[in-house]
Structure 1
């Protein structure tokens, strides 16, 4: 087995194992106080009363976890801008998207619902014209997630002395690309600020030694310069602010009092601390006048919105009382943080009509219905095909991001090949079985569990098309962390981390015979990052579901 050792630039005893109870207590107290005062919290659903609510801290690392500075910079300074451009162009290539994802309509209700909405939009625009004008400007808040991967040609032995150039044996491999309702940015922003505060406060400075060889010495000092700044909250808000400005400075409808951003959210939301800060940032916008921003729960949209004869989306804030006597707000930008679960499109709440009303309006969507469809896992799979990227990117750009791909195959193709995981349980350890529909985690099948799961399928059944097999990323070993969660307390163990880069875009659809020219990118920027860590024995990474912890990369050379 290939093993990568801790770098010499990081202390060998990191994080320190022999902290005194007083030292650990001091750090944990500071973490809890920081989280409480900065809203790094989750709402406990069911605890709310008219005058109170119970909250619990977001799971976080006690110490930042080591990560390659070179690869951090590569993802932030180079890869994300290319991925942003790619997914802007994908969102305007309806023929390609349907060819890749259309077959999933037979087995995936959510995919079918999204395409139903798209087709209904086209029908209404053709039949009714002016009320359903096409908004050609679109916005996107993206997140590309990576893990460190040990190169296949690396032959570092665990008995060798520590390799000074350990990070040179690593590369980035993409776990997934998220283009819809990207979560975690606000939590990541706050946790990064917390770790930088603890470093400035000197709580990560340890200096002691012992001449007794049986006692391990501590000589650790984490400098704030090794912990990158994170400003994802303002970064996401800046995308919405740019879209808001692009929409116009005043309402198109004479009925509206002003224009505003509308954030569409789910009911009974325990994760409001990852949404509200964006709303607050816009109301307190640092670059100009405050940007009015309202929240609306998904199932309330039809009751609190109207379309004008010329396509403006009018919103009647529920707190303003009777919508028949109050002046509405015209929506400039729709920011989706709901609409990604099949039940949200059910007939009992008229879910397809909810999404259709939003999509046919003049408002700029973040993202559009096609932008939503790009987050389907089968899109990620199709992009790994030979020459696929060159449909939208230059050869040079395609080569840059192709290096982050792992092998991804449709389950049907894989089962018919010689490398069939049903027949080879050892081979199955190298793969993850994922739904081919939308990303979201929690539904993956890992390694040794794959053969038994596949045997439950009919050999000729259509359910095979609902899954893909993805090569498992080989993360470096001997990376340790100390994690804290409300459910499990403090644990110290070998860990693996996932690094996500947030990107923000505005683009305009253009009429062109060339796929590379159908999308004019107006704005393309990196707007922040997230960093999550879990114990190496845990498969899933989701923090809010209790698997991982928000963290900060401790950048090493």
Structure 2
């Protein structure tokens, strides 16, 4: 029977609306039901927690212990949620769809020296770390780029801002253009949560967890840059910090080995001792020619432990090796650039004939406000001091745990409000995701239900040679969840844990 033709149009519209609301309610309850049934069964939760830990170990979702950070003799499971977190399918697909436009945007910013100079002019006056990066950038501009191949591996992070009507809108937190992590481990977490749901008797829900393999996509970008470099003997260098999340990297390395591409791991100190440039500006480390330098460090001041570390960064930037990211792409990911992009008319500058791309990107912007000296910055300061709980104060730093919230915003701004030091920060609207309940599994931590907030990351990979974009893809996603009692901090910072979206 055709119900649509059997009723009047107004009633048809009402029926469709009711049916859609019921369907949304059912799917949401299906996801929520995972927890509702087990919350009353402590023994089942405890059993499932052990199942999840064992499955994580079986799937290789592992990390070295804090006691042995430089040895794989002892490993443990990477912190993760017991259950996947429900995410609206439409919003999830929106995040995937906009990623290639973000790839293009970052790349076009990196090629626009006038924009970078203007956008970062106030920041480099007061932020020494950004200023040192910018001085390297200026030297590269002066001497000329030695390599026309550009490789970008980035991750755009979002939260779902809860509207008054109960729906969610996608709002960008930041874009990471250097050392965007957990592309490796997040490639293995879907099978963990699928297994937990099956053991819990939730076969239907287990089928709603998507396959996800960012490691393969990131490796594809690196491999393409290596191929374009044009030397089969050349290697990939993972530039790493002292105690890296090594297994996250290993998945990308393994994908490269599948293509018979050799990679090595070195620190700044190692390159300082054994690195050099030949007369053609080819980079050699331990006598091996380097095709690609993949920065897994270098995004925080503490990564540069000596002046020699800065010398190494400059040497690599001057070389013919493909840098991921190169110095201009690194600067394109700063918070100040993020804030400037939100100004009216700026996105149009980078997409003059692509209004749809502008619309898709701008739809993800939260409110972003300048703290530059002058009337506009003064207005921002007054607004933040009047209602600090509405905002997040962000310095030009990556790595998690750097943002400032609530009463601390007032403390910081009161101290710098009449000084140019305030230009080291930007102000952003605080995003309010809907809280959910879950169990956060951590080694040596008690098993208890927590009120949680989640953050969705989307990985992008692109390769450009000269003016030709050779590759531009969205290559996977990452969901991280943390207790609502923590304002800031990621997995590496010990606050968030790995998760999976359960699409509804």
> Structure 2 length as normaliser, TM-score?
0.88
Looking at structure 2, the residues matched to 222 and 421 of structure 1 have their Cα atoms a distance apart, in angstroms, of 48
Could you say if the C-alpha distance between residues 198 and 14 of structure 1 is closer, same or farther in structure 2, counting changes exceeding 3 Å? closer
CA–CA separation in structure 2 for the residues paired with 1:443 and 1:178: 14
1:446 counterpart residue number = 405
Counterpart CA distance in 1 for 2:479 and 2:68 is 29
In the superposition, relative to structure 1, how do residues 440 and 418 fare at CA in structure 2: closer, same or farther (>3 Å)? Answer: closer
Deviation at 1:403, TM superposition (A): 0.6
1:306 Cα shift?
2.0
The equivalent position to 2:229 in structure 1, one of 247, 253, 277, is 247
> Unpaired segments of 5 or more residues in structure 1?
126-132, 157-168, 206-219, 251-257, 317-327, 511-519
Q: Which residue number corresponds to residue 284 of structure 1?
A: 258
Contact 2:391–2:405 (Cα < 8 Å) also in 1: yes
Partner of 2:271: 301
The residue number in structure 2 matching 1:274 is: 248
Task: Mark the CA change 1:432 to 1:283 in structure 2 (over 3 Å): closer, same or farther.
Answer: same
Matches of 1:58 and 1:544, distance apart in 2: 10
Task: Report the equivalent of 2:365.
Answer: 405
1:353 match: secondary structure: helix
Task: Compare 33-42 and 492-501 and name the one that shifted more.
Answer: 33-42
> Relative to 1, partners in 2 of residues 1:149 and 1:248: Cα closer, same or farther, differing over 3 Å?
same
- CA 38–225 in structure 1, closer or farther in 2 if over 3 Å, else same: closer
Q: Does 1:539 align with 2:487?
A: yes
Equivalent position SS for 1:456: helix
Partner of 2:3: none
Higher RCO (Cα < 8 Å, 6 or more apart): 1
Give 1:171 shift. 1.4
Residue 107 (structure 1) aligns with: 126
Cα offset, 1:380, TM superposition? 0.5
Q: CA deviation at 1:204?
A: 3.1
1:120 Cα deviation after fit = 2.8
Q: Do 2:70 and 2:243's aligned partners in 1 also have CA atoms closer than 8 Å?
A: no
Verify: 1:456 aligned to 2:415, yes or no.
yes
Distance 1:419 1:110, change over 3 A: closer
1:314 maps to 2:284? yes
Deviation digits for residues 334-379 of structure 1, max 9, x if unmatched?
A: 1111111224446x34122101111111111111110111111001
What secondary structure sits across from 1:116 in the alignment? Answer: helix
Q: 1:140 aligns with which of 132, 139, 152?
A: 152
Q: 1:46 to 1:28 in 2, by over 3 A?
A: closer
Scaled by the length of structure 1, the TM-score of the pair is 0.80
The answer (yes or no) to whether the contact 1:117–1:352 under 8 Å persists in 2 is no
SS of 2:382 mapped into structure 1:
coil
Residue of structure 2 equivalent to 1:529: 477
Taking the aligned partners of 2:322 and 2:380, their CA distance within structure 1 comes to: 48
When residues 386 and 54 of structure 1 are mapped into structure 2, their CA distance, relative to the original with a 3 A threshold, is: same
Maintained 8 Å contact 1:421/1:450: no
Number of residues paired by the alignment? 476
Cα offset, 1:383, TM superposition: 0.5
For residue 93 of structure 2, give the secondary structure of its aligned residue in structure 1: helix
Q: Which structure has the highest helix share of the two?
A: 2
